[in-house]
Amino acid sequence: MKKRRLLIRSLILLVLGIALVYTLYTNFVASKELVSAGSKAPDFVLTDLNGKKHQLSDYRGKGVILNFWGTWCEPCKREMPFIDRQYQHFSSKGVTVLAVNISESKITVQNFVDQYHLTFPVMIDKDRQVLDAYGVNPLPTSFLIDKAGKVVKVYSGQLTEGMVEKFMEQIKP
């Protein structure tokens, strides 16, 4: 009887150990699929600071710069005025910007938007699902998406105004 109990407990521990090793491997070692140039941009729905829902697929027919950022990120702070100036120039030409903040409070993000006088849609990815779907690391990271919903380019790091202009020209429908 004791041998049988010992065998059952050992099997349970073995199964739990295998499950733990598998979980650790898939979360930390296995490469995660990243969205890259040439792939279809994963669709998502996020709500902006004004309560309007934005679904990426609703922007088919337009060029989209999808920018992931944070208020604490110094390169993000430096590139936002460039992005906004070019957005104001290119929005009438079929190019838009969707800025996705990574899980900060609405008041913090709203203060940032007010401070920099941003005019493009700003959304908060509270649970980081969109961030994870795109495999974003580090911030800022921008995805250039063409009118067909295909990723043309992925750029990690701070954008200059010249780069923003070039990128918007590149995805203009």
**Each residue's pLDDT tens digit, 56-68:** 999 999 999 999 9
Query: Whole-angstrom Cα distance, residue 60 to residue 172?
Result: 12
- 6/98: higher pLDDT: 98
Question: What proportion of the chain, given as a percentage, has pLDDT over 70?
Answer: 94
**What average pLDDT does the segment 16-45 reach?**
76
**What average pLDDT does the segment 18-29 reach?**
68
Residue 1 reports pLDDT greater than 90: no
Residue 133 one-letter amino acid = A
Residue 31 reports pLDDT greater than 90: no
Torsion of CA 59, 65, 70, 72, to 10 degrees: -150
Helix axes 74-90, 161-171, angle to 10 degrees: 50
pTM for the model: 0.81
Query: Whole-angstrom Cα distance, residue 86 to residue 122?
Result: 16
For 96-111, how does the pLDDT look when each residue is reduced to its tens digit (9 = 90+)? 999 999 999 999 999 9
For 156-168, how does the pLDDT look when each residue is reduced to its tens digit (9 = 90+)? 999 999 999 999 9
Query: Whole-angstrom Cα distance, residue 32 to residue 24?
Result: 13
**What average pLDDT does the segment 29-42 reach?**
76
Residue 32 reports pLDDT greater than 60: no
The predicted structure's pLDDT at residue 122 = 98
Query: What is the number of other CB atoms lying within 10 angstroms of the CB of residue 75?
Result: 16
